[in-house]
């Protein structure tokens, strides 16, 4: 074999080498054991065509034989039958020695002494553990039986010995392997790439098992904890992005495991490619309308709502117009969320404004036809999925993990701290404002009237400044409007400024050491003030 010409590349450990194509290794013997049979016959046929011996077990051997191809069963190859209901099939020295042996005089002599032929290719994908545990009625025994033992062992052995052996875990890679085999063999660069993918594959598989066991059969005291002691994550890149928040930053979208909300998805129906910032704002737009009764619409700019409204059973177009009216200047270039299907009338209303994207659970055919005329508008269908139970955020060299803020308190049972009780319409608007407040960056103040946002004060260092900004941003008179604050008022000045703007009712968590002063201010101004007892910071 010609000496390999190489350059250094890192595979997560020490220095390894990158092939220049001069270390091609023909496939003379392959071990195949796959749960996913897609493309198996084509791969097996290509291997037989170049004279490779195929060794396989169970259903994989049957599928290869059905294709009219010669295959040696594992039990015949090892001289040992499958036992323990198939739990032990490939776990045999004749297979693993053939995979793990290096191409050295010493190892080759040992193989010859033991009558063990070398293996050049391992093709394995694992038992469908995640698909099994996704079933609502899955039992412990069913889950345990889908914990693959032999498969990961084969994969890890072949990946470890990628110097000589190629390993394939994804049918999407069959075409490249077939092409390489027919060209004379699999070279070092491809073997290393496949090995890296194989280690990621088994790591993700083990992570899924670890998460499920921790959640389902952990000790009682661990199960009672709000957050597990150890979190194992596998992140799968779903989409490369043009860049991150800014053009000089690389960016990509990685899906979380289902247990962390990875089943929550958006399907792009048309429009330009989504950007990093688009995805953040789409998430915010959907989170807002998820908290609204039908029909609800949000308008998002830089992850804050600059418009929102809802009408029980109302026309989506009318709700959108009311949401847009909150801050029409900021709505320009924003992202719209709607929690019902977008119809043609709403699509025509959307078309009147420059928007980056719109997200909804569906779009009528006529709506899609209208929106198609805005060629750059990203049209996104929200695919059904449970909201993520946890939120994760990088900080200080690690991840901050918390339970997602999914609950919203009913004001029906909230404490009225003021002398004056809120009226029915005020209570409805307070409920709406409180739902909106948790989606605005802290310090957050929102003003609402007629189940629509009127003014938003977001992300200020001083709560009274948020009140002043929310009132100043209002496009309509705020007399008779209500106000929500995501946390308590530390001083009465915020209430005084609200009164100057004509606010008639306030909802806030309460809990300040100066609550008495704040309540007294509300009473002086004839306001109703409701305490929820719950804070909704959004940093």
Look at 192-196, 344-348, 446-450, 515-519 and tell me which has the smallest mean pLDDT. 192-196
* Helices within 146-291 (DSSP H only): 150-160, 174-182, 188-216, 220-223, 276-290
Q: Confidence band (pLDDT; 50, 70, 90) for 331?
A: very high
Q: Confidence band (pLDDT; 50, 70, 90) for 8?
A: very low
pTM: 0.74
> Is the Cα torsion angle 399, 400, 402, 406 positive or negative in sign?
negative
Helix (H), strand (E) at residue 320: helix 316-324
Indicate if 160 belongs to the active site.
Answer: yes
Q: Does the pLDDT of residue 232 top 80, yes or no?
A: no
Q: Is 478:503 a contact under the CB 8 Å cutoff? A: yes
Q: Confidence band (pLDDT; 50, 70, 90) for 217?
A: low
Of 414, 419, 418, 420, give the one whose Cα is nearest residue 433.
414
Q: Confidence band (pLDDT; 50, 70, 90) for 144?
A: confident
Q: Please indicate whether residue 36 or residue 80 has the higher confidence score (pLDDT).
A: 36
What DSSP string describes 353-411?
A: S-EEEEEES-B-HHHHHHHTTSTT-EEEEEEP-PPPSEEEEEETTEEEEEE-------G
Of 160, 182, 163, give the one whose Cα is nearest residue 23.
163
Beta-bridge partner residues of 174:
none
The C-alpha atoms of residue 34 and residue 150 are separated, in whole angstroms, by 11
> Catalytic one among 107, 197, 272, 302?
302
Highest mean pLDDT, choosing among 69-83, 257-271, 445-459 = 445-459
> Is the Cα torsion angle 371, 340, 264, 300 positive or negative in sign?
positive
Q: Does the pLDDT of residue 481 top 50, yes or no?
A: yes
> How many residues are given for the chain?
539
Q: Confidence band (pLDDT; 50, 70, 90) for 223?
A: very low
> In the prediction, which pLDDT does 225 show?
57
Using left for φ > 0, alpha for ψ between -120 and 50, and beta otherwise, residue 363 falls in beta
The C-alpha atoms of residue 28 and residue 117 are separated, in whole angstroms, by 10
Indicate if 302 belongs to the active site.
Answer: yes
> In the prediction, which pLDDT does 22 show?
61
The C-alpha atoms of residue 336 and residue 318 are separated, in whole angstroms, by 14
> In the prediction, which pLDDT does 289 show?
95
Q: Does the pLDDT of residue 294 top 50, yes or no?
A: yes
> In the prediction, which pLDDT does 226 show?
67
Q: Please indicate whether residue 7 or residue 430 has the higher confidence score (pLDDT).
A: 430
Q: What CATH number should be reported for the domain whose range is 411-531?
A: 3.40.140.20
**CA–CA distance from 380 to each of 163, 183, 305, 362 (Å)?**
45, 43, 18, 8
> In the prediction, which pLDDT does 3 show?
34
Say if residue 166 is exposed, middle or buried (CB neighbours under 10 Å; 0-12, 13-18, 19+). Answer: buried
> Catalytic one among 160, 197, 272, 351?
160
Q: Confidence band (pLDDT; 50, 70, 90) for 21?
A: low
Q: Confidence band (pLDDT; 50, 70, 90) for 16?
A: very low
Q: Does the pLDDT of residue 337 top 90, yes or no?
A: yes
Domain with CATH 3.40.140.20 in the chain: 263-383, 411-531
> In the prediction, which pLDDT does 11 show?
30
The C-alpha atoms of residue 283 and residue 387 are separated, in whole angstroms, by 11
> In the prediction, which pLDDT does 59 show?
82
Q: Confidence band (pLDDT; 50, 70, 90) for 148?
A: confident
Strand-pair category, 72-73 with 53-56: parallel
When the candidates are 3.40.140.20, 3.40.50.720, 3.40.50.460, 3.30.365.10, the CATH number that belongs to 263-383 is: 3.40.140.20
Q: Does the pLDDT of residue 237 top 50, yes or no?
A: yes
> In the prediction, which pLDDT does 13 show?
35
> In the prediction, which pLDDT does 98 show?
86
Q: Confidence band (pLDDT; 50, 70, 90) for 471?
A: very high
The C-alpha atoms of residue 450 and residue 453 are separated, in whole angstroms, by 8
Taking 3-state DSSP, the helix, strand and coil percentages for the chain, each rounded to the nearest 5, stand at 35, 20, 40
Q: What angle do CA 214, 219, 225 make, to 5 degrees?
A: 70
> In the prediction, which pLDDT does 389 show?
79
The C-alpha atoms of residue 372 and residue 391 are separated, in whole angstroms, by 34
CB count, 10 Å around CB of 231? 17
**CA–CA distance from 329 to each of 84, 272, 325 (Å)?**
70, 23, 9
Domain with CATH 3.40.50.1380 in the chain: 6-212
Average pLDDT over all residues of the chain:
87
- What value does the mean pLDDT take over residues 364-371? 97
- What value does the mean pLDDT take over residues 118-141? 81
- With a pLDDT cut of 90, the percent of the chain lying above it is 55
> In the prediction, which pLDDT does 20 show?
47
When the candidates are 3.40.50.720, 3.40.710.10, 3.40.50.1380, 3.40.50.2300, the CATH number that belongs to 6-212 is: 3.40.50.1380
Highest mean pLDDT, choosing among 11-25, 39-53, 265-279, 472-486 = 472-486
């Amino acid at each position: 074999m010609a000496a390999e010409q190489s350059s250094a590349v890192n595979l997560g450990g020490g220095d390894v080498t990158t092939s220049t194509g001069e270390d091609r290794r023909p496939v003379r013997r392959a071990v195949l054991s796959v749960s996913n049979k897609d493309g198996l016959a084509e791969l097996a046929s290509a291997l037989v065509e170049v004279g490779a011996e195929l060794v396989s077990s169970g259903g994989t051997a049957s599928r290869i034989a059905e294709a009219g191809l010669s295959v040696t069963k594992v039990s015949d190859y090892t001289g040992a039958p499958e036992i323990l209901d198939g739990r032990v099939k490939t776990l045999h020295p004749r297979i693993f020695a053939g995979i793990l042996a290096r191409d050295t005089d010493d190892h080759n002599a040992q193989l010859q002494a033991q009558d063990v032929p070398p293996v050049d290719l391992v093709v394995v994908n694992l038992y469908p553990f995640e698909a099994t545990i996704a079933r609502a009625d899955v039992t412990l025994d069913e889950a345990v039986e889908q914990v693959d033992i032999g498969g990961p062992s084969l994969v890890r052995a072949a990946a470890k010995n990628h110097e000589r052996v190629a390993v394939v875990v994804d049918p999407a890679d069959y075409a490249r392997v077939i092409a390489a085999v027919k060209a004379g063999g699999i070279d070092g660069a491809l073997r290393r790439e496949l090995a890296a993918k194989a280690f990621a594959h088994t790591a993700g598989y083990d992570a899924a098992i670890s998460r499920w066991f921790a959640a389902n059969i952990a000790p009682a005291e661990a199960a009672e904890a709000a957050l597990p002691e150890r979190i194992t994550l596998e992140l799968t890149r779903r989409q490369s992005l043009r860049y991150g928040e800014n053009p000089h930053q690389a960016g990509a979208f990685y899906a979380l495991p289902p247990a962390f909300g990875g089943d929550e998805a958006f399907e792009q129906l048309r429009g330009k490619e989504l950007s990093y910032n688009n995805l953040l704002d789409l998430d915010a737009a959907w989170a807002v309308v998820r908290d609204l009764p039908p029909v609800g619409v949000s308008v998002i700019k830089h992850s804050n709502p600059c418009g929102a409204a809802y009408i029980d059973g109302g026309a989506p177009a009318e709700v959108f117009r009311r949401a847009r009216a909150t801050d029409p200047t900021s709505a320009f270039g924003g992202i719209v969320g709607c929690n019902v299907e977008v119809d043609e009338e709403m699509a025509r209303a959307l078309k009147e404004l420059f928007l980056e994207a719109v997200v909804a659970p569906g779009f009528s055919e006529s709506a899609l036809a209208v929106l198609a005329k805005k060629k750059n508008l990203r049209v996104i269908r929200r695919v059904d999925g449970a909201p993520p139970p946890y939120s994760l955020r990088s900080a200080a060299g690690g991840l901050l993990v918390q339970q997602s803020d999914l609950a919203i308190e009913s004001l029906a049972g909230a404490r009225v701290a003021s002398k004056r009780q809120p009226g029915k319409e005020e209570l409805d608007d307070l409920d709406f404002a409180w739902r909106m407040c948790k989606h605005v960056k802290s310090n957050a103040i929102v003003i609402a009237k007629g189940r629509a946002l009127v003014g938003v004060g977001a992300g200020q260092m001083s709560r009274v400044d948020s009140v002043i900004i929310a009132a100043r941003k209002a496009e309509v008179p705020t007399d008779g409007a209500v106000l929500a604050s995501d946390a308590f008022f530390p001083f009465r000045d915020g209430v005084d400024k609200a009164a100057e703007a004509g606010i008639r009712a306030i909802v806030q968590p309460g809990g300040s050491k100066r609550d008495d002063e704040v309540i007294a201010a509300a009473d002086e101004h004839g306001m109703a003030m409701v305490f929820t007892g719950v804070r909704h910071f959004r940093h």
